[in-house]
Structure 1
Amino acid sequence: MAPKRATRSTPAATTATTSVTNAQLQAMIDQGVTAALAARDAIRSTNGEDNHNSGTGVRRNERATRECTYPDFMKCQPLNFKGTEGVVELTQWVEKMETVFRISNCSVENQIKFSTCTLLGNALTWWNSHVRTVGNDVAYAMTWTELKKKMTDKYCPRTEIKKLEVELWDLKVKGTDVIGYNQRFQELALLCVRMFPEESDKIERYVGGLPDMIHGSVVASKPKTMQEATEIATELMDKRIRTFADRQTENKRKQDNNQQQQPQNKRQNTGRAYAAGTGEKKLYGGSKPLCPKCNYHHDGSCAPKCHKCNRVGHLARDCRSPANANTANNQRASGRLGKYCL
């Protein structure tokens, strides 16, 4: 058999094949696998057999949302509404109900059915009367927005809203109770939404009701939101209260120390007065010379001195001192005794 002429090209082909690296080979394999998976997903998607693949061939199981039932709705603890406390009660009921709708994933079709089950007392009587008037189908076909408007017209008349607006406009902090002021202001602000078209308007009204002791500091801080304004006001008032309490404690401590020192000072002052009164002699401050005879300061001759009472200024015959009277009585008594003795 004649030799093949292509023998020389065989080594060249072998050399070209072995020049492919392992990394390149792995990349070619991955590319082919990815293309095959994409083609398979496209075929299944066309046939309606979408398995929710993530692109890597791994199946993702998506959990279907379960429909909200009445027990599921009640587990979220919605508020009851009696219709006896006016605007505040209705506002709180509406806010809580909308929160329960979101948490329980309540469908739009069930919102009116489930929410009206929380009505009690006068509110329930009003709803039952409305159902009898328009019928079940019409009553339960209304939307949540329509129900809110109907209940607002019933339990929040315009006159009540005006009273709340006046209260909000005149609202101020009582004493140092900033926390109570914050709570009432936020409640009224939710009810009187038309008073504050902008957040800055609400902040200005809030700051206007703060006491003078913190008003300037809050204004200087320039709060941008209501939350920031309430936090600043509460913190400043807490500091003021602590400072006042510290001052009272310090004043009480000083007062107690003064009360303890007063008896000691009194005893010391009494000792000083006694020593000065018994041991010290008052010095003469005039300009008259000292008389060496009577040891008094005077001009001219010495004044007469009574030899009975030893006082200067009168003679013995003019002495009226009690000692002089006793001496005279004693002398008269001695004379009488001497007479009888003779």
Structure 2
Amino acid sequence: SQVEFASSMLQGRALTWWNTLVQTRGRAAAIAQSWEDFKKLLMEEYCPDDEVEKLESEFWNHKMVGSDINGYIAKFHELARLVPHMVTPESQRVNRYTRGLTSKIKAHVTSSQPATIQGAMSMANRLTTDGIKDGFFRKKENVGNKKRSNDQSRNRGRDDRNKRQRT
């Protein structure tokens, strides 16, 4: 069973917790519990409510940055695995995913109403790739540096002229 296999992989503090559970309930009853019950017990023991709330908040605020669709997807999957109740059923998973996309990508993906997360991700990936090719995405740090260097060169001559001469 899943419970028997998972419990055989426990180490350290988790193994001590499991052994205490086996002593309390008996080995047969502990192993016979459902996978859902086992996961619930583990969550109660090792995932305090405040930590789950932090993960939920992080997931709620997770956004795609620039054209980094792969980074967005990787973090999305990681958070979805840690707080699965936020992405169940599939329609909620699609909604949560599209919510964090950049505005123009989100508008296109949302209007197509994808039924699956794979459909939404595929479309967002394609749109992002096209956006990069078309120059829609620019690296913010380059834009900021260009502006700063232009401002500095423009102001070089003015700084001395605008200063008041001391007499």
TM-score surpassing 0.5?
A: yes
| Bucket of the pairwise TM-score, normalised by the shorter protein | 0.5 to 0.7
Q: Flag the 1:151–1:235 CA change in 2: closer, same or farther, 3 A.
A: same
How many pairs align? 136
1:202 aligns with 2:108: no
Q: Deviations over 1:146-205 (max 9, x none)?
A: 322211211222222211111111110122111111122233234334335543333233
Question: What are the residue-to-residue correspondences of 1:9-24 with 2, within 5 Å?
Answer: none
1:235 aligns with 2:131: no
Q: 2:65 aligns with which of 168, 174, 183?
A: 174
Q: Flag the 1:114–1:181 CA change in 2: closer, same or farther, 3 A.
A: same
Q: Flag the 1:163–1:131 CA change in 2: closer, same or farther, 3 A.
A: same
Deviation at residue 129 of structure 1 after TM alignment: 2.9
Q: Flag the 1:233–1:150 CA change in 2: closer, same or farther, 3 A.
A: same
Deviation at residue 126 of structure 1 after TM alignment: 1.8
Q: Which residue of 1 aligns with 2:6?
A: 115
Question: What are the residue-to-residue correspondences of 1:1-342 with 2, within 5 Å?
Answer: 108=1, 111-196=2-87, 198-244=89-135
Q: Flag the 1:127–1:214 CA change in 2: closer, same or farther, 3 A.
A: same
Q: Flag the 1:181–1:131 CA change in 2: closer, same or farther, 3 A.
A: same
In the alignment, the residues of structure 1 paired with residue 104 and residue 124 of structure 2 have an alpha-carbon distance, to the nearest angstrom, of 10
Amino acid at match of 2:109: V
In the alignment, the residues of structure 1 paired with residue 135 and residue 116 of structure 2 have an alpha-carbon distance, to the nearest angstrom, of 29
**Percent identity of equivalent pairs:** 40
Deviation at residue 213 of structure 1 after TM alignment: 4.0
Q: TM-score, normalised by structure 2?
A: 0.66
Q: Which residue of 1 aligns with 2:154?
A: none
Q: Flag the 1:121–1:242 CA change in 2: closer, same or farther, 3 A.
A: farther
In the alignment, the residues of structure 2 paired with residue 187 and residue 148 of structure 1 have an alpha-carbon distance, to the nearest angstrom, of 17
Q: Which residue of 2 aligns with 1:34?
A: none
Amino acid at match of 1:225: T
Q: TM-score, normalised by structure 1?
A: 0.35
In the alignment, the residues of structure 1 paired with residue 96 and residue 28 of structure 2 have an alpha-carbon distance, to the nearest angstrom, of 46
Name stretches of at least 5 consecutive residues in structure 1 with no aligned partner.
1-107, 246-342
Name stretches of at least 5 consecutive residues in structure 2 with no aligned partner.
137-167
Deviation at residue 131 of structure 1 after TM alignment: 2.8
Q: Secondary structure at the match of 1:172?
A: coil
In the alignment, the residues of structure 2 paired with residue 192 and residue 217 of structure 1 have an alpha-carbon distance, to the nearest angstrom, of 27
Q: Secondary structure at the match of 2:135?
A: helix
Q: Deviations over 1:245-289 (max 9, x none)?
A: 9xxxxxxxxxxxxxxxxxxxxxxxxxxxxxxxxxxxxxxxxxxxx
Q: Which residue of 2 aligns with 1:11?
A: none
> Higher relative CO (CA 8 A, sep ≥ 6), structure 1 or 2?
2
Q: Deviations over 1:300-328 (max 9, x none)?
A: xxxxxxxxxxxxxxxxxxxxxxxxxxxxx
Deviation at residue 114 of structure 1 after TM alignment: 3.2
| Structure with more of its chain in helix, by fraction | 2
**CA-atom RMSD in angstroms:** 2.6
